[in-house]
C-alpha cells in the first residue's frame, strides 16, 4: 500500500509535506477526530484528500461552496483521482449517476453541500459505506464564527450514525471561542487541535486611512497600471459600490466584473467562471461574498471599506498568493465604514461581541507597529520580529513630542462643547474659511488657526492616533462627533508626556511601484510565456481553469530550471506522475525549442498551422513540418474551429464517435475532462478524438 509521502509525490507532484500536514494525515488514519486550523493557501485539502485515497471506502467532504466543490473535483480528476460533487445545482439524472457510482465504490471523495445533506442521509447516504468525513469551512457551524450558517447544524446528526468514523473539521480562521464551539457543535470525540502558522509572509500588508474618493481612485489606477494583467479582487461593503468600481475600472481600460448577491445565479456563475478562467482579471465583490474559489494566481486584494472583523479580513486577503508567490493587499477605510458596520449588528443578540470585533479590526487599521504581528497575535501566534513586508515595517514611524498637538486638538473639541467631527475640528485648527465654520462662529474660538502649520492629512494622522490611544472616541450614535475620554482629559489638564508618530512622506512614485519580493527562481521570460500559452491551450481543450493544469509557481520553476528529461521534470514541484504522462513530452519540447531560439507567439503558431491545413496536409505531416506533436496540432485545429475559421473537424472524428462522446459525457455528469470520458468508452476512442468531439459539441449543443 502506498504511503502518504508516495501519494503526495505521485498525485500532487510535491516532495515534502508542509508543516502539520503529515501529522494530521497520520492522526486521521489512526481513526481519531481533529480540528484543523490552517490559513488559506496552507494546504488544507491535502490533509483530507490523502487519507481519503488510503481509506477503503468513500470519504464525505461537506462544503458550503458549490464553486469550490467543482474546482476541487476538477483538480482531482485532472490528477487521476475519482471524485464527484453532489448539490442542488445538479439534475436528478446527474445525481442518480453519482449515487450509483458511490454504491459501486467507484468514487473516493464525494463533496456534498450541507443543504442537501439531510435529504441525502434520509434517502440514500446511509447505504453508502463511509470511511471518513471532512467538514470544510467548519467555522460556519459556530454562532461565534464570522460566517455562521444554520444549515451546518444538520451535520451533528451524522455523528450518531458514523460513531466509529473519524471526523475532521477544517477552517482557515477561527479564534479560541470558535474553535471550542466547532468541537461542541459537531460532537467531536476528544479532537486533536492542529494549529498551523498564520504567517503568510508572501502577502504584503498596507492600510490607507481617510483617503478621499478621487484620491483613492487615482491611487488604485496607479496600483493596477503597475500590475498589468494580474488577477485581483476589490472587496466593497455595498452592491452599488461593486457596480460603480467595475464600471470605473472598465472605463479606464481594465477588464473588470462585479459580483454580489443581487445578481441571478447564472450571472454570478458566469462572472466567477470568467475570473477563474482568466477571461477577465478583476472582480469587484461584496465583502459578504466568500469567493469560494481555489484560484492560485490572485496577485492582489484591495478592501474598499473596513471589513467587519479580523477573521473575515484575514480570509479575504488570503485569496491572494495561494501559490506562495509575492502578492499585495491594501485596506482603505474611513470612520463612516465603522458606523455602517455597527449599524449592521445593532439589532443582534450578540451585539457586544460583534462590536468588539469591529473595534479590533479598527485597532489593526490604525496601528503604528508591525501589522503582521498584530494579525498573528489575534490568532494566538506571537512574534516580536518585524515582518518587513507591511507598510509600517517598510516605513517605520518616527516619534515626536505630541503633547502640544494633542492639547490643541483636545482644546478645540472642548471649546466646541464636543459637537464637531474630525473634518470640522481640522478646519478649525487650520483656520479654514468655510461657510459652515463661519455660520457656527467657530472662527471666533481661541483655537481657530492654532495648528495651521500642519496639513489636513497630517492632522488626520495625529487625530487617528489620539483615537487609537484612547484619548478621543468617536460617537458613532451621534453623527461621528469627537468626545474626550478621561484619559484625554488627563492629557489636557496635566503635564503627562505623550509621543505621537510623525506622518510618513511617500517617496515620489512609491505608490505605483510594485512591492515584489525577489523569488527564489529566475525564470526565462520567453520560455515562461511559451509554457503559459501551452497551458492555456490545454486548459481550453479540457474546459478547466489554467491553474488546474499547472500553478504559476510550477511553470516559473520549469522556466528557471529548464529540465532536459523526464527525471529532471519530475523533480519540479507540482509535477506528479499523471501530469508527467499527459504533458511531459510537450513541455520538454517547448523547453528545447526555446533553447534553440524557436520562439513564436500564439497568434503566429495558429496561423502557421492554418496555412498547412489549407494546403491539405494531414495532422501527422503538419506536426512533422512544424516540429510539434500531433496533440499540439489537434489543439491548434480546435482553437481555430472555435474562432470560426473554416476548419472541418469531421476529417478527424466521425459523427458516430462524436455521439459516443456525447453519451459518455452525460453518464460522467457532463464533465469536460478527457480522462473520465476515455475510461467510460473503455479506451475505444482516442484522447485527441474526444477533444475534437467536445469542441464540436460545445459549439452546437
Contact at 8 Å (CB) between 292 and 68?
A: yes
Cell triple for 66: 458549490
| CB neighbour burial string for 27-54, b if at least 16 within 10 angstroms, e if fewer | bbbeebbbbbbbbbbbbbbbbbbbbbbb
Cell triple for 610: 492554418
Contact at 8 Å (CB) between 326 and 388?
A: no
Contact at 8 Å (CB) between 303 and 235?
A: yes
pLDDT of residue 32: 96
What gap in Å lies between CA 672 and CA 75, rounded to an integer?
Answer: 12
Q: What is the pLDDT of residues 666-686, one digit of tens each?
A: 887 777 777 778 878 888 888
What gap in Å lies between CA 483 and CA 227, rounded to an integer?
Answer: 42
Q: At what angle do helices 66-78 and 265-276 cross, to 10 degrees?
A: 40
pLDDT at 515 over 50: no
Contacts of 455 (CB under 8 A, 6+ apart): none
**Nearest one of 422, 470, 425, 475 to 445, comparing CA atoms:** 425
Strands 499-501 and 399-401: antiparallel
Contact at 8 Å (CB) between 170 and 134?
A: yes
Strands 327-333 and 399-401: unpaired
pLDDT of residue 307: 92
pLDDT band, residue 478 (cuts 50/70/90): confident
Q: What is the dihedral of CA 112, 195, 322, 18, to 10 degrees?
A: -100
The CATH code belonging to domain 525-700 is 1.10.150.80
- The three-state DSSP-derived secondary structure of 102-136 is HHCCCCCEEEECHHHHHHHHHHCHHHCCEEEEEEC
pLDDT band, residue 700 (cuts 50/70/90): low
With cell 471649546, the residue in question is: 415
Stretch (H or E) spanning 301: strand 298-303
**Which fold is adopted by the domain 203-394?**
Rossmann fold (3.40.50)
Q: What is the pLDDT of residues 180-214, one digit of tens each?
A: 889 999 999 999 999 888 888 999 999 998 898 99
Q: How open is the CA angle 184-189-191, to the nearest 5 degrees? A: 85
What gap in Å lies between CA 119 and CA 113, rounded to an integer?
Answer: 11
What gap in Å lies between CA 121 and CA 429, rounded to an integer?
Answer: 67
**Which fold is adopted by the domain 4-195?**
Rossmann fold (3.40.50)
Classified as helix, coil or strand, 481 is strand
pLDDT at 701 over 60: no
Residue 236's beta-bridge partner residues?
Answer: 286
Contact at 8 Å (CB) between 204 and 390?
A: yes
pLDDT of residue 514: 38
Q: Per-residue pLDDT averaged across 352-374, rounded?
A: 84
Furthest-apart CA atoms within the chain: distance in Å = 94
**Nearest one of 211, 220, 233 to 511, comparing CA atoms:** 220
Query: Within 10 Å of residue 55's Cβ, how many Cβ atoms?
Result: 18
Q: Per-residue pLDDT averaged across 405-422, rounded?
A: 95
Q: Per-residue pLDDT averaged across 691-701, rounded?
A: 78
pLDDT of residue 60: 95
Stretch (H or E) spanning 548: helix 546-549
Q: What is the dihedral of CA 281, 224, 396, 460, to 10 degrees?
A: -110
Burial class (CB in 10 A: 0-12, 13-18, 19+), 699: exposed
Cell triple for 665: 459525457
Contact at 8 Å (CB) between 666 and 701?
A: no
Mean pLDDT across the chain: 85
pLDDT of residue 146: 63
Contacts of 239 (CB under 8 A, 6+ apart): 260, 261, 262, 286
pLDDT of residue 530: 86
Q: Per-residue pLDDT averaged across 143-158, rounded?
A: 76
* Boundaries of every domain in the chain: 4-195, 203-394, 399-501, 525-700
Contacts of 300 (CB under 8 A, 6+ apart): 223, 227, 230, 232, 233, 320, 327, 328, 329, 330
Classified as helix, coil or strand, 492 is helix
Higher pLDDT, 89 or 299: 299
Contact at 8 Å (CB) between 546 and 536?
A: yes
What gap in Å lies between CA 255 and CA 170, rounded to an integer?
Answer: 34
Stretch (H or E) spanning 83: strand 83-86
Strands 192-195 and 256-259: unpaired
Contact at 8 Å (CB) between 128 and 100?
A: no
What gap in Å lies between CA 673 and CA 678, rounded to an integer?
Answer: 9
Residue 135's beta-bridge partner residues?
Answer: 62, 169
Is the CATH number 3.50.50.60 carried by domain 399-501?
A: no
pLDDT of residue 686: 86
pLDDT at 480 over 60: yes
Using alpha carbons, list the distances in angstroms from residue 199 to 42, 176, 381, 591.
10, 17, 9, 35
pLDDT at 455 over 50: yes
Q: What is the pLDDT of residues 25-62, one digit of tens each?
A: 999 999 999 999 988 777 889 999 999 999 999 999 99
pLDDT of residue 203: 95
What gap in Å lies between CA 325 and CA 517, rounded to an integer?
Answer: 9
With cell 501551452, the residue in question is: 534
Classified as helix, coil or strand, 436 is helix
153-157, 603-607, 666-670: range with highest mean pLDDT: 153-157
Higher pLDDT, 331 or 142: 331
pLDDT of residue 291: 53
Q: What is the pLDDT of residues 216-244, one digit of tens each?
A: 999 999 999 888 789 999 999 889 999 99
What gap in Å lies between CA 540 and CA 277, rounded to an integer?
Answer: 9
Q: Per-residue pLDDT averaged across 252-273, rounded?
A: 86
pLDDT of residue 292: 56
pLDDT band, residue 165 (cuts 50/70/90): very high
Rg of the chain in Å (alpha carbons): 29
Classified as helix, coil or strand, 514 is coil
Higher pLDDT, 631 or 599: 631
E strands, 113-202, where?
130-135, 167-171, 192-195
pLDDT band, residue 349 (cuts 50/70/90): confident
Strands 192-195 and 298-303: unpaired
Q: Is 215 left (phi over 0), alpha (psi -120 to 50) or beta?
A: alpha
Q: Per-residue pLDDT averaged across 17-24, rounded?
A: 92
What gap in Å lies between CA 29 and CA 17, rounded to an integer?
Answer: 16
pLDDT band, residue 476 (cuts 50/70/90): low
Q: What is the pLDDT of residues 119-138, one digit of tens each?
A: 888 788 888 889 999 999 89
Dump the DSSP string for 267-296.
HHHHHHHHHHTTS-SEEEEETT-------T
- The sign of the CA dihedral 53, 54, 55, 61 is negative
Do 203-394 and 399-501 share a fold? no
pLDDT of residue 699: 67
Q: Per-residue pLDDT averaged across 603-622, rounded?
A: 83
What gap in Å lies between CA 186 and CA 168, rounded to an integer?
Answer: 10
Classified as helix, coil or strand, 206 is strand
pLDDT band, residue 506 (cuts 50/70/90): very low
pLDDT at 519 over 50: no
pTM for the whole structure: 0.60
Q: What is the pLDDT of residues 316-334, one digit of tens each?
A: 898 898 888 999 999 999 8
| CB neighbour burial string for 89-121, b if at least 16 within 10 angstroms, e if fewer | ebeeebbebbbebbeeeebbbbbbbbebbeebb
pLDDT of residue 158: 83
Amino acid at each position: 500500500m502506498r504511503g502518504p509521502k508516495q501519494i503526495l509525490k505521485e498525485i500532487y507532484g510535491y516532495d515534502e509535506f508542509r508543516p502539520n500536514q503529515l501529522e494530521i494525515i497520520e492522526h486521521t488514519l489512526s481513526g481519531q477526530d481533529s480540528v484543523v486550523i490552517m490559513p488559506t493557501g496552507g494546504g488544507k485539502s491535502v490533509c483530507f484528500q490523502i487519507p481519503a485515497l488510503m481509506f477503503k471506502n468513500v470519504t464525505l467532504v461537506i462544503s458550503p461552496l458549490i464553486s469550490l466543490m467543482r474546482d476541487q473535483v476538477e483538480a482531482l480528476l485532472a490528477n487521476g483521482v475519482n471524485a464527484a460533487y453532489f448539490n442542488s445545482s445538479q439534475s436528478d439524472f446527474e445525481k442518480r449517476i453519482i449515487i450509483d457510482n458511490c454504491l459501486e465504490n467507484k468514487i473516493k471523495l464525494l463533496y456534498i453541500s450541507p443543504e442537501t445533506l439531510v435529504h441525502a442521509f434520509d434517502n440514500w447516504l446511509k447505504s453508502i459505506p463511509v470511511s471518513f468525513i471532512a467538514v470544510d469551512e467548519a467555522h460556519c457551524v459556530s454562532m461565534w464564527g464570522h460566517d455562521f450558517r444554520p444549515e451546518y447544524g444538520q451535520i451533528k446528526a451524522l455523528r450518531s450514525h458514523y460513531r466509529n468514523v473519524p471526523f475532521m473539521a477544517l477552517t482557515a480562521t477561527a479564534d479560541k471561542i470558535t474553535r471550542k464551539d466547532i468541537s461542541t457543535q459537531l460532537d467531536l470525540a476528544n479532537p486533536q487541535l492542529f494549529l498551523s502558522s498564520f504567517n503568510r509572509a508572501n502577502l504584503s500588508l498596507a492600510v490607507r486611512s481617510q483617503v478621499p474618493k478621487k484620491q483613492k481612485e487615482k491611487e488604485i489606477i496607479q496600483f493596477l497600471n503597475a500590475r498589468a494583467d494580474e488577477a485581483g479582487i476589490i472587496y466593497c461593503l455595498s452592491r452599488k459600490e461593486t457596480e460603480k468600481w467595475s464600471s470605473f475600472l472598465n472605463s479606464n481600460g481594465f477588464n473588470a466584473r462585479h459580483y454580489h448577491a443581487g445578481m441571478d445565479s447564472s450571472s454570478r456563475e458566469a462572472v466567477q467562471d470568467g475570473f477563474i478562467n482568466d477571461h477577465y482579471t478583476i472582480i469587484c465583490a461584496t465583502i459578504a461574498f466568500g469567493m469560494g474559489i481555489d484560484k492560485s494566481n490572485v496577485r492582489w486584494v484591495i478592501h474598499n471599506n473596513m471589513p467587519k472583523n479580523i477573521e473575515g479580513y484575514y480570509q479575504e486577503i488570503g485569496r491572494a498568493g495561494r501559490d506562495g508567490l509575492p502578492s499585495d493587499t491594501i485596506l482603505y477605510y474611513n470612520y463612516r465604514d465603522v458606523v455602517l458596520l455597527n449599524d449592521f449588528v445593532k439589532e443582534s443578540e450578540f451585539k457586544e461581541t460583534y462590536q468588539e470585533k469591529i473595534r479590533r479590526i479598527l485597532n489593526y487599521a490604525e496601528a503604528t507597529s508591525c501589522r503582521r504581528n498584530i494579525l498573528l497575535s489575534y490568532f494566538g501566534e506571537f512574534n516580536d520580529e518585524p515582518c518587513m513586508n507591511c507598510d509600517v515595517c517598510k516605513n517605520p514611524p518616527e516619534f515626536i513630542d505630541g503633547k502640544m498637538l494633542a492639547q490643541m486638538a483636545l482644546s478645540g473639541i472642548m471649546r466646541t462643547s464636543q459637537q464637531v467631527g474630525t473634518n470640522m475640528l481640522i478646519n478649525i485648527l487650520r483656520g479654514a474659511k468655510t461657510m459652515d465654520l463661519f455660520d457656527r462662529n467657530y472662527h471666533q474660538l481661541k483655537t481657530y488657526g492654532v495648528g495651521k502649520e500642519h496639513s489636513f492629512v497630517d492632522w488626520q494622522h495625529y487625530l487617528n492616533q489620539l483615537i487609537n490611544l484612547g484619548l478621543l472616541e468617536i460617537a458613532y450614535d451621534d453623527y461621528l462627533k469627537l468626545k474626550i475620554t478621561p484619559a484625554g482629559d488627563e492629557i489636557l489638564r496635566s503635564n503627562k508626556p505623550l509621543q505621537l508618530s510623525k506622518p510618513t512622506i511617500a517617496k515620489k512614485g512609491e505608490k505605483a511601484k510594485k512591492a515584489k519580493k525577489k523569488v527564489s527562481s529566475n525564470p526565462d521570460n520567453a520560455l515562461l510565456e511559451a509554457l503559459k500559452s501551452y497551458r492555456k491551450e490545454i486548459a481550453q481543450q479540457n474546459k478547466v481553469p489554467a491553474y488546474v493544469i499547472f500553478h504559476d509557481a510550477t511553470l516559473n520553476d520549469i522556466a528557471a530550471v529548464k529540465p532536459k528529461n523526464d527525471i529532471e521534470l519530475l523533480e519540479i514541484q507540482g509535477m506528479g506522475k499523471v501530469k508527467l504522462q499527459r504533458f511531459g513530452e510537450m513541455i520538454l519540447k517547448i523547453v528545447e525549442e526555446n533553447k534553440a531560439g524557436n520562439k513564436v507567439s500564439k497568434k503566429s503558431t495558429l496561423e502557421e498551422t492554418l496555412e498547412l491545413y489549407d494546403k491539405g496536409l494531414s495532422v501527422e505531416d503538419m506536426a512533422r513540418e512544424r516540429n510539434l506533436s500531433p496533440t499540439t496540432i489537434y489543439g491548434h485545429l480546435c482553437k481555430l474551429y472555435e474562432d470560426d475559421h473554416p476548419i472541418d473537424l469531421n476529417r478527424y472524428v466521425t459523427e458516430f464517435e462524436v455521439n459516443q462522446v456525447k453519451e459518455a459525457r452525460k453518464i460522467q455528469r457532463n464533465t469536460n475532462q478527457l480522462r473520465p470520458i476515455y475510461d467510460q468508452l473503455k479506451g475505444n476512442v482516442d484522447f485527441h478524438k474526444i477533444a475534437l468531439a467536445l469542441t464540436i459539441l460545445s459549439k452546437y449543443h
